[in-house]
């Protein structure tokens, strides 16, 4: 149960491992200490972890609107997830709310940031500064401080030295050294499909453990490395289903 009388203060101290798909295997649920069973690990499904940033965004909006307390019903209205779903997701990490009162927004924001590892800046490498990579870097660097692109690499000599939102594009050859020096563990791939696997291999060898892949290719990575794929074409193709012409009748 997420909500228990007197549970105004959160009791979780652990941090969830990264969400996402383990390439080549079923996503492994994160393991966190279970508050209900006195410390026995609880399995946190990948999908639950992926909802946490949605809750966090809604909570930060509410805080900006000067709200201090939120009920799971309010959060449900903001996020589109059910109250039961929200309470269940938060329960994986301990109790955050007070029954009949709700959740203290500032406490929950801090806790979710901690669980997600966002209570410090997460430095990110971007590989491929073409059309997509440039747009991603611009967007990220103007809006986000917690998950921030701090290194950009490209193999095209014509692009090296150019700046995107103040950050210089570096030669792809420097990837390993820079990633190690900056302690980067999360990277974005925005190179052509044919180059993506080799880039992934190099990133992993340099210490990257989580990859957001925009190239339309299935990356092979070692166990323990998390890959999330974003494929615009596949998303559009699946949406096409919902607007397909009605089959002719008669």
Ligand X SMILES: NC(=O)c1ccc[n+]([C@@H]2O[C@H](COP(=O)([O-])OP(=O)(O)OC[C@H]3O[C@@H](n4cnc5c(N)ncnc54)[C@H](O)[C@@H]3O)[C@@H](O)[C@H]2O)c1
Residue carrying the six token digits 């499909």: 193
Q: How many CB atoms lie within 10 A of CB 171?
A: 15
DSSP 135-186: HHHHHHHHH-SSEEEEEEEES-TTTTT-EETTEEEEEGGGHHHHHHHHT--E
Distance CA 153, CA 61 (A): 34
174 in a labelled binding site: no
Total residues binding ligand X (CB under 6 A): 25
Cβ-in-10-Å burial (0-12, 13-18, 19+) of 79 comes to middle
Q: Which is nearer to ligand X, 81 or 214 (CB)?
A: 214
Q: Which is nearer to ligand X, 40 or 236 (CB)?
A: 236
* Closest distance of CB 81 from ligand X, Å: 25
Q: Would strands 30-33 and 41-44 be described as parallel, antiparallel, or unpaired? A: antiparallel
130 in a labelled binding site: yes
**Contacts to ligand X from residues 123-152, by CB under 6 A:** 127-133
Distance CA 89, CA 74 (A): 15
Regarding 203 and contact with ligand X (CB under 6 A), the answer is no
Regarding 230 and contact with ligand X (CB under 6 A), the answer is yes
Among residues 8, 123, 207, 216, the one that binds ligand X under rule CB under 6 A = 216
Distance CA 1, CA 235 (A): 35
* Closest distance of CB 129 from ligand X, Å: 5
Listed ranges 37-45, 115-123, 179-187, 192-200: which one lies at the site for ligand X (CB under 6 A) = 192-200
State the angle between helix axes of 46-64 and 72-79 in degrees (0 to 180), rounded to the nearest 10: 100
Regarding 224 and contact with ligand X (CB under 6 A), the answer is no
Interface mask toward ligand X for 36-75; x: CB under 6 A: ----------------------------------------
108 in a labelled binding site: no
* Closest distance of CB 133 from ligand X, Å: 5
Q: Which residues bind ligand X (CB under 6 A)?
A: 127-133, 153-156, 159, 172, 190-193, 195, 199, 214-216, 230-232
């Amino acid at each position: 149960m997420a909500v228990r009388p007197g549970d105004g203060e959160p009791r979780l101290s652990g941090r969830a491992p990264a969400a996402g798909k383990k390439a080549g295997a079923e996503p492994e649920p994160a393991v966190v200490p279970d508050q209900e069973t006195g410390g026995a690990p609880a399995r946190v499904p990948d999908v639950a972890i992926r909802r946490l940033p949605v809750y966090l965004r809604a909570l930060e909006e509410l805080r900006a609107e000067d709200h201090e307390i939120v009920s799971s019903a309010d959060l449900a209205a903001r996020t589109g997830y059910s109250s039961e779903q929200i309470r269940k997701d938060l329960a994986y990490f301990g109790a955050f709310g007070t029954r009949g009162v709700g959740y203290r927004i500032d406490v929950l924001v801090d806790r979710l940031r901690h669980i997600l590892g966002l209570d410090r800046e997460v430095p990110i490498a971007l590989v491929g500064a073409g059309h997509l990579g440039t747009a991603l870097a611009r967007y990220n660097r103007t809006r986000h401080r917690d998950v921030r692109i701090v290194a950009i690499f490209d193999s095209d000599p014509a692009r090296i030295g150019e700046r995107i939102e103040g950050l210089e594009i570096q030669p792809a050859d420097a990837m390993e050294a820079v990633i190690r020096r900056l302690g980067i563990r999360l990277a974005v791939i925005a190179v052509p499909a044919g180059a993506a696997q080799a880039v992934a291999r190099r990133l992993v060898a340099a210490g990257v453990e989580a990859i957001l892949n925009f190239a339309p290719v299935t990356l092979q990575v070692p166990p323990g490395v998390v890959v999330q794929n974003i494929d615009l074409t596949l998303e559009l193709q699946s949406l096409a289903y919902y607007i397909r012409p009605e089959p002719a009748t008669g």
